[in-house]
Structure 1
Amino acid sequence: MPMKLAHPFRLALPAALSLLFAACASTSSAQITATTQSQPPAGGLAELVDAAEIPFERFTLENGLTTIIHTDRKAPIVGVTVYYRVGSKHEPRGRTGFAHLFEHLMFVGSENVENYDAPLLAAGSTGPNGSTYYDRTNYVETVPTGALDLALFMESDRMGYLLGAVTQEKLDNQRAVVQNEKRQGDNQPYGLVRYLQAEGLLPVGHPYRHSTIGSMADLEAATLQDVRDWFRNNYAPNNVVLVLAGDIDAETARPMVERWFGAIPRGPEVEPVQAGPETLREAKELTVTDQVPFPALFQFWTSPGLNHPDAVPLRVGMDILGGLQSSRLDNALVRGAELAVGVSASASAFEQLGFLETRVNLKDGTSPEDARAALERETARLVAEGPTLAELERAKTQLVADAIARLEQVGGFGGKGFILAEGELYSDDPAFYRRELEQIVGLTPADVQQAMQRWLSRPAYTLWVVPGERTLDGATLGGWGDEDTTAPPLPDARAPVDVTRTGAPRSQPPVISAGDLTFPQVQRATLSNGIEVLIAQRPSVPKVSLALTINAGTAADAPGRIGLHETMVDLLTEGTATKSALDIAILQEQLGSTLRARAGIDSDTITLETLTTNLAPSLALMADVVRNPAFRDDDVARVREQRLAAVAQELASPAGLASRAYMPLIYGADHPYANSGSSGDTQAIAGLVPADLATAHRVWFRPDLATIIAVGDVSLAELVPALESAFGDWAAPETPAPTTTTDRPAPEPQPRLVVIDRPNSPSSFLLMGRATPLFGHVEGSEPILLATEVLGGGFLSRLNQDLRETKGWTYGIGSSIPVAKGQRMLQIGTQVQADRTADSIRAILAQVAAFPQERPVDPAEYQRATEGNILGLPNELETNGQVLGALLTSRRLGRNLDYQAQLPAIYGAIDPAMINDAAREYLGPHNMTIVVVGDRAVIDAQLETLAMPITYLEAEDL
């Protein structure tokens, strides 16, 4: 569901690296150079950069509003992206978190718009969203072309006509929502690292030191006068970049922008702040205990801002160190000495500084001294010697291929509007992305080495997070840093403020129909061995997204072997009869391809995303991985440890604990879906040997259980011969194809309250629901799904409006009936502040009970669920990945492949009574299973007031 984001990673093009667990393989570090020289790197990067062009026009209104227009007619949609030149670095002492809190207030209505989300969602927009980070605040939505006028009206209304609608009640509510957002983040394993990183690197008062989410005390201190001052000082058109990308041109857009924004007066310029990278006088080290599954070692440095010449070579260098699948750290610590279950290295660049980070998740039994020595040895070796040419070319290819992929999306976070806006805001050049790509292509090993020598040779800040009791309180972290000593006294947070309108009322413009939905034509073919092939040709970008599915999934695991199938699928990319895991990683990077293998509940999916020019060799690699996995002893041992680490991570996570308990309660312990909410059973995984995995692969991976679906820049005539070459001689065994037993019914639902203790949890995780009578796709079931959407399927749903927007007890809540071939379940999930655990359960059950007996679907809900969904279908099919996902779901459920094209007629035939009837039959509060993960010291007395029998489970028994 759409949420207002507090601190998303910067997604500048190429993407900044986040904390990723790299894939694993078994080759010593000494083998890297020899292996990488064995094949030439993929060429043509300069041509690919040319393909990444985003043409634009730019104009500026008299009030200073900068507008950028990019035309892309592939779909009747327009991405609307608005960037304000103000972020958390502009916050004064005592008001940390305020920029983000204000962002939330921008969604609660303006003087002429009662609710910002409702009109846009009714018009078929994506869920309007926003985010705040150090340097900026942004707002995004992608709308049907006919709703662009509406979107511009609404963006202009909150830019110029907000303050008359912001009340103390709204401020208090959104303050509570943000505080719950902070609790939710803090409640995760390693959730306090985000604070400790900046506090260890930067002095008190540095604009990038305090977190974007802020401290609890500062959030509590924010006043309505602060809101008015912040708006007047920062939210003026001369501090804004507006980008319209998609089915629009400058000639059409300019009068629309002038109409809605032209009368908004210029305001003061945002005052620049002094903020740059800092060098520690000497190395620093801190060890903290926390409720984490395994020790994690971090090393941090500051680095220059994104406009600095070293920003790009540092990003590439950190990629080579710990971002690529073939990275130095992976090879030395995961594949080589096997000291770690996961490693990463990243460089994140902001406007005035950046952060460099390495991370090692220690394998059970690893000496911390050995892990640290290995990390520092590999870092020092890369700094001293620089990368090989082959490593550099692979990193370049991956980054450019990623840039090509981003061209599919016109709006949202990371799309073309996002890219152009960040270039204009931070670098005075919307085409800055192009300069970055050209710099990447031109990098030499010496460029990377010299940049890393300049920045990683400085003293590092080392942070250890080790298992134990959480001793730090996230509520006190994230602020200025001197609150206990020199912070000035704060004014009364509830002092009355005169709230008056800014201007005369304005009328909302109508939405113009965009015409009928066009779903890509799906062509069919059959390979010589009987594999069905489906293809939707879409030439918008020179890439292909392809998936091979096997009818198996985790449902194939026998009782007592839970985790076997998923471990087997994990090992597909860890080595074949002729290639090591490192060989596979290197070949992907050379080709600009991404190959992933995943076991779902009903099927296994091997996905390939590749540049069209490299489709044939990428398919050859995919076929080798699917058909010839080696299951070598060393690879199995390593992946087995990673799978056990994944289980440990689930047992430390509130969501993981809830899911591991919930699924067996819903389906019964021996049902094939019972363990679909977990990474497996520890004992079963620990006992796996290569023969077990080879047998599972031989039984389930066969062409008569396979389907191939492709979407992208390739024709059927081009694709089929390439698939024949890769898969055509794959023969099915003579034995009958196996089947799973997912058609078994779940036990009859029964009411129960199950509690799992997780001490020191500032939030409680709730998961509740029951099995429904639905099996797979049932013709005529759409009213049931729409009723679930009304209840909890979006930002405007009843549950979210009640628990988040009215009560402020959660950051978000949702309900769904997840897709499955077998029996499907109703599921409601949320994380609520701990002192409102029982109240939240009561509120959820009350909302469920009221629908439809006391509160039938109202006209606005009905319109959003039917007409709004119809208008929004083009947004759901914008990218190749979205179309591929739709086809995979239709194929999995056995419904027509053009199901999305049929939805307008299906939704149009649904009346309110059908939605009410579905809610009455499927969504009532009866026989609900409720799982609560929280601190029993806080929640036990609350839960007793529910007058429900309670069962207590221990985390270690899940």
Structure 2
Amino acid sequence: MFKQTITTILVAGMIGCASSPSTETEVTEGVSLVEVVEQQDDKLVIPYKKYVLDNGLTVILHEDNSDPLVHVDVTYHVGSGREDIGKSGFAHFFEHMMFQGSENVADEQHFKIISEAGGTLNGTTNSDRTNYFETAPSNQLEKMLWLESDRMGFLLDAVTQKKFEVQRETVKNERGQRVDNRPYGRLGERVAQALYPEGHPYSWPVIGYMEDLNRANVNDVKKFFLRWYGPNNATLTIGGDIDEEQTLEWVKKYFGSIPRGPEVKDPKPATVELDEDRYISLEDNVSLPLLYMAYPTVSRLHADEAPLDVLASIIGQGKTSILYKNLVKNGVAVQSSVSHGCKELACEFVLYALPNPMSGKGLADLEATIRDSFAEFEKRGVKADDIERVKASIKSQLIYGLQSVSGKVSQLAANQTFEGDPNLIQKELERYENVTEADVMRVYEKYVKDQHAVIMSVVPKGMKAMVAHEDTWTPSERHIPEYEEVTEADLDIRVAKDDFDRSVMPEAGDNPTIKVPEIWRSELSNGIDVLGAINEETPTTAISLRIKTGSANDPLNKIGLASITASMLNEATENYSNEELSNILQKLGSSVSISAGEQYTQLTIQSLTENLDRTLQIANEKLRAPKFDPADFKRIKEQTIEGIKSAAKQPSVVASNVYQKLLFGTDNAFAHPTSGSIETVSNITLEDVKNFYNTYYTPAISSIVAVSDLEKDVLSTKLKRFSSWEGGEVEQAEIKPFPELQKAIYFVDKPGAAQSEIRIGKRALPYDATGEYYRVNLMNYNLGGAFNSRININLREDKGYTYGARSGFRGSEDYGYFIASAGVRTDATDKSIIEFLNEMKAYHNSGMTEAELEFMRNSLGQRDARDYETPRQKLGFLGQIMAYNLDEDYVDEQSDILQSIELEELNALAQKHLTLDDMIIVVVGDKASVMPGLEKLGYDIIEVDAEGNKL
């Protein structure tokens, strides 16, 4: 048995003991109270009240008054797993359609209304559920409920053939961007096709097959909606700064009249078994081959799920794992991992690895090593340390997930949807608490040892010989039932009847008081400035130690040096091995990582406060006593080079890299990718790393920002651990003159690319919190800064050219730029550029309207309520103040500017900064397909390679 148990965590506002009425209690006509979970005893739960409306809608209310926010989530128990054969993608398609307006909400207004209210919103679909959610200031709650209820009960009359066709194109663009144009993007759907029998709900991709959507008509999707989107198949979860009585009254008003849908039964898990190993393969636009092995196991919350999670950790998660030792540490693979992903009906025990070309090993060798590692695990067995490590990780993840109201609401909603019980957090802890060494060995022998798997090889195009094994399984042709057209007469329309005028949008309540974090300052004895804030909502601490050095200080022939130096500090130290450090941190439930960007290197620390002292000891060890082991350096250098090769296969990365280099010139290191190029990384030696560390890692250019439930004096005392760190000032790299921009289209050929990546822009202003830089971003908001901006509405919603288009100004301390960007359909590349230019030209000439000015003021003026909720957000706020030496009340000055700035000033800024003649255009796409259209645009076309060099 394991030796150590999970410590019980006492979290104010989250401790509770469920006490349920013995029978449902009607609290008002049409609404029954089902369950109450209150703050009591020592159980880790989220307090809530659970109600059911007469129409079957489950309502969960969670009160959290720590921030003036409300999060609303509507989860429907329908995902791709409930689609019919030949009609895949409908659930995901409705995720799009539900944002297109309803009977009382005009087209494109859902995003506009929530954005104008200072909120944010989205929707997601997976195999088992679809959810829609908004976070907004608490005075907007009634409006949010009105919106959600209107699309639940009053959607179908607004679903037109035109909207259907536009969103069908948008889904195709999303597939192009996320699947077809992404390396390894089709891996998941190919594995699912082989792992699950034909017709199994998980055998097709969530996004669907495009031929199925092409075959469908608007009535097909209406029928799908009527089957699954009734209130009796939904959970409405509301959390945050709410008045429960008033909230329940609004819920009854807006949702109570919506008729029930057809009855829905929970799906039943079906055991998936393979009679032999199924080897499959895919040639893809990748730089490295990949081996992927998937074993079918159990289903979500099955008794064996927890021990299988522990098994996955032991075999392949982190630097303590067997696969890390056998594949990554010795340089055989650049990456490997194991996971046990669970869905409602089935789980998969997955292993993957990418070989290191320097090792001379291929996919067949990786498979052999993985199988040998299984045998090693059998001999090694399960240790108490293994189980303690996983349990601590689970515990910390659950607590970190409670730092935002959205995290808590999402947890409640998911638990209710799949288990009918929102109160599962403590049970989750107990599931892992009760796992034994024998349990882990038992599930290994039952689900992995001598069991069959789907084994997939993804190899570069034209390199079929690199597969681990020749294919032994091929998919049969899809058996699609004969299509039967759905007509209006086939639709069983449900009509809600209200006693109020639903077409009138509710007014917002009084604006809530925004709680900007109260800041404290101190200084360590070695001169490090400390900026802190208290966050008492969870017993956690987040710290960022920032060193003012990054890739901007790299020598031009050794770009990537700052990044590799930071990576080396994540490896062994003088006193601990990689494995020991990883083991300690996992058992603490902490993370300590070092990373380098353009201007800063950051040491980021996240810890449960009860374990902060030990976590800070490890952080200090990593920062001040790196071992700089030659073996670690060799491995990191090889991994970096392979990462660069992989990035060069991603059109979006190539487009951004080329754009940056064209703007700021090859003579400035910050204009290059922080990872460097194959050539520059090849030049880097271990001695270079040591010299960079000794030169730039110094307290003289460092600062600390921290957010914790600890008081200033207590945390300041703990941070004194860094006081003995010594070092003097260093010179920063000189910024070289920027190149003269030649108005042209710079084109990178990506043969066969499923989409084209577009970047349009120019150099612009450096960052200024309250100056012209702040003002130009106000100006840009309606052009390309919001979802319902002119650019996105045009290219995505009106034309269906893209999954998303945007524009904005970006700035650092010394330089900045303007950029408009999108990934677009290949056949719409030239048309998309025309629309981008037309929108910017019109904005330059005429500026924004009075209505747009009002929208921008409302939207940006209220969204501050969302800016300081979580420790991570507070840390970002403090970091901004520290990095740019801002006054603590700079946000008040920004608010004054926002409310007082006039239309004339904003439009003058548009005329000044949106000058098309100063802008360059970068396009990455398939030359054969797009070049004829580009040549008609009247621009010079300059072909460049993936690093921006002229061909």
TM-score by length of 1: 0.90
Paired position in structure 2 for 1:729: 724
1:854-885 per-residue CA deviation (whole Å, 9 max, x = no partner) reads: 4x313443233222212111212210101111
Match of 2:26? Answer: none
| 1:113-132 equivalence runs, <5 A | 113-114=105-106, 115-126=109-120, 128-132=121-125
In the alignment, is residue 410 of structure 1 matched against residue 428 of structure 2? no
> Is residue 6–residue 395 contact of structure 2 (8 Å, CA) maintained in 1?
no
Aligned to 1:475: none
- Corresponding position: 1:906 with 2:906: no
Looking at structure 2, the residues matched to 470 and 187 of structure 1 have their Cα atoms a distance apart, in angstroms, of 19
Distance (whole Å) between structure 1 residues aligned to residue 868 and residue 742 of structure 2 = 39
Shift in Å at residue 256 of structure 1?
1.3
Deviates more, 1:592-601 or 1:383-392: 383-392
Matched, 1:893 2:884: yes
Give the partner amino acid of 2:858.
E
Question: What is the aligned partner in structure 1 of residue 391 from structure 2?
Answer: 396
1:798 pairs with 2:794: no
The 1:220–1:212 alpha-carbon spacing in structure 2 relative to 1, beyond 3 Å, is same
1:686 aligns with 2:682: yes
Q: Measure how far apart 1:500 and its partner are.
A: 12
- The residue type equivalent to 1:879 in the other structure is T
Q: Distance in 2 between matches of 1:495 and 1:945?
A: 48
Instruction: Give secondary structure in 2 for the equivalent of 1:351.
Output: coil
Aligned to 1:923: 914
Structure 1 residue aligned with 2:440, among 435, 448, 453? 448
What displacement does 1:366 show? 2.1
CA distance in 1, matches of 2:374, 2:236: 41
The equivalent residue for 1:21 is none
Aligned to 1:703: 699
Which residue does the alignment assign to 1:532?
529
Displacement of 1:244: 0.6
Matched AA of 1:608: I
Is 1:44–2:7 an aligned residue pair? yes
Alignment of structure 1 residues 354-753 onto 2, 5 Å: 354-364=347-357, 365-382=360-377, 386-411=381-406, 415-457=407-449, 458-469=451-462, 486-489=480-483, 491=485, 506=502, 507-675=504-672, 677-724=673-720, 726-733=721-728, 736-742=729-735, 746-753=738-745
| Aligned equivalents of 1:902, 1:51: Cα separation in 2 | 44
Equivalent position to 1:868, from 855, 859, 863? 859
The equivalent of 1:242 in structure 2 is 236
Q: Does 2:804 match 1:812?
A: yes
Deviations 1:179-233 (A, max 9, x none): 1101112210101101111011011111111111011111112211112212221
Pair 1:303-2:294 in alignment = no
Greater shift, 648-657 or 500-509, is seen at 500-509
Task: State whether residues 745 and 823 of structure 1, in contact with CA within 8 Å, keep that contact through their aligned partners in structure 2.
Answer: no
Amino acid at match of 1:514: N
Structure 2 CA distance for partners of 1:284 and 1:384, relative to 1, 3 Å: farther
- May I ask how many residue pairs the two structures share in their alignment? 901
Taking structure 1 as reference, are residues 957 and 386 closer, same or farther at Cα in structure 2, changes over 3 Å only?
farther
Q: Choose 653-662 or 878-887, whichever is displaced more.
A: 653-662
Q: Could you tell me how far 1:285 is from its partner in structure 2?
A: 0.8
Cα distance in 2 for partners of 1:499, 1:310 equals 43
2: CA distance, partners of 1:902 / 1:387: 58
Judge which range, 689-698 or 366-375, deviates more. 366-375
- d(CA) in 1 for partners of 2:897, 2:127: 45
Q: 1:501 deviation in Å? A: 8.6
- CA displacement, residues 35-79 of structure 1 (integer Å, 9 cap, x when unaligned): xx9xx9796256689574211110101111100111111101111
C-alpha separation between the residues in 2 aligned to 1:353 and 1:339?
A: 32
One-letter amino acid of the counterpart of residue 105, structure 1: M
**Contact 2:226-2:493 within 8 A present in 1 as well:** no
Partner in structure 1 of residue 208 of structure 2: 214
Q: Secondary structure at the match of 2:188?
A: helix
| Higher mean C-alpha deviation, range 926-935 or range 605-614 | 926-935
For residues 805 and 463 of structure 2, the distance between their equivalents in structure 1, rounded to whole angstroms, comes to 27
Match of 1:261 among 255, 258, 264: 255
Q: Give SS of 1:652's match.
A: coil
Worse-superposed segment, 58-67 or 271-280: 271-280
| Cross-structure match for 1:343 | 336
Corresponding position: 1:92 with 2:84: yes
**Cα distance, 1:669 vs. partner?**
0.9
Q: Distance between the aligned counterparts of 2:832 and 2:275, measured in 1?
A: 49
Which residue in 2 is equivalent to 1:5? none
What displacement does 1:440 show?
A: 1.3
Superposition deviation, residue 784 in structure 1: 0.3
Contact 2:765 2:811 in 1 (8 A): no
Distance 1:263 1:494 in 2: 23
The residue type paired with residue 157 of structure 1 is D
Q: In the superposition, relative to structure 1, how do residues 722 and 110 fare at CA in structure 2: closer, same or farther (>3 Å)?
A: same
Tell me, in whole angstroms, the C-alpha distance in 1 between the residues paired with 2:475 and 2:399: 42
Partner Cα separation in structure 1 for residue 243 and residue 390 of structure 2: 35
Residue pair 1:95, 1:222 contacting (<8 A) in 2 also: yes
SS at match of 2:405: coil
In structure 2, how many angstroms separate the alpha carbons of the residues matched to 1:515 and 1:810? 37
1:875-915 CA distances to partner (integer Å, 9 max, x unpaired)?
12210101111221232233224433443223112222222
Deviations 1:558-578 (A, max 9, x none): 211111111111111112221
SS in 2 for 1:304: coil
Tell me if 1:846 matches 2:838. yes
Query: How far apart in 2 are the matches of 1:359 and 1:206?
Result: 24
Q: Deviation at 1:252?
A: 2.9
Q: In the TM superposition, what are the counterparts of 1:770-785 in structure 2 within 5 Å?
A: 770-774=762-766, 777=769, 779-785=771-777
TM-score between the two structures when normalised by the length of structure 2: 0.91
Larger RCO, structure (CA 8 Å, separation 6 or more): 1
Q: 1:147-226 residue pairs with structure 2 within 5 A?
A: 147-185=140-178, 186-226=180-220
User: Contact (CA 8 Å) 1:788, 1:923: kept in 2 or not?
Assistant: no
One of 280, 283, 288 as aligned partner of 1:286 = 280
The percent identity for this pair of structures is 32
The amino acid that maps onto 2:256 is G
Equivalent residue, structure 2, for 1:70: 62
1:774 counterpart SS class = coil
CA distance in 2, matches of 1:522, 1:740: 32
Instruction: Return closer, same or farther for 1:199/1:484 CA change in 2, 3 Å cut-off.
Output: closer
- Give the residue type in structure 2 aligned to 1:464: S
Q: Is the 8 A contact 1:222 1:493 kept in 2?
A: no
5 Å-filtered alignment, 1:924-939, equals 924-939=915-930
Deviation at 1:730, TM superposition (A): 1.1
Q: Deviations over 1:435-492 (max 9, x none)?
A: 1121112222222222232222320111111112499xxxxxxxx9766555413649
**Which moves more between the two structures, 547-556 or 710-719?**
710-719
Tell me, in whole angstroms, the C-alpha distance in 2 between the residues paired with 1:898 and 1:630: 43
Q: CA deviation at 1:816?
A: 2.1
Q: Give the deviation of 1:791 after TM superposition.
A: 1.6
Does the CA contact (< 8 Å) of 2:295 and 2:454 recur in 1?
A: yes
Q: What CA distance in whole angstroms lies between the structure 2 residues aligned with 1:949 and 1:178?
A: 33
Kindly provide the amino acid, as one letter, of the partner of residue 225 in structure 1: N
Cα deviation for residue 659 of structure 1 reads 2.3
Corresponding residue for 1:25? Answer: none
Q: Is the 8 A contact 2:779 2:910 kept in 1?
A: yes
Give CA deviations for 1:280-325 in whole Å, capped at 9, x if unaligned. 0011112222111111110002221112111122123212322234
**For the residues of structure 2 that align with 1:922 and 1:783, how far apart are their CA atoms?**
11
Alpha-carbon spacing, 1:41–1:626, altered in 2? closer, same or farther (3 Å): farther
CA RMSD of aligned residues (A): 2.4
Conserved 8 A contact 2:363-2:457: no
Deviations 1:791-826 (A, max 9, x none): 211211111111001101111112222241121011
Instruction: Give SS of 2:190's match.
Output: helix
Q: 2:127 aligns with which of 128, 134, 140?
A: 134
Alignment correspondent of 2:469: none
In structure 1, how many angstroms separate the alpha carbons of the residues matched to 2:193 and 2:155? 35
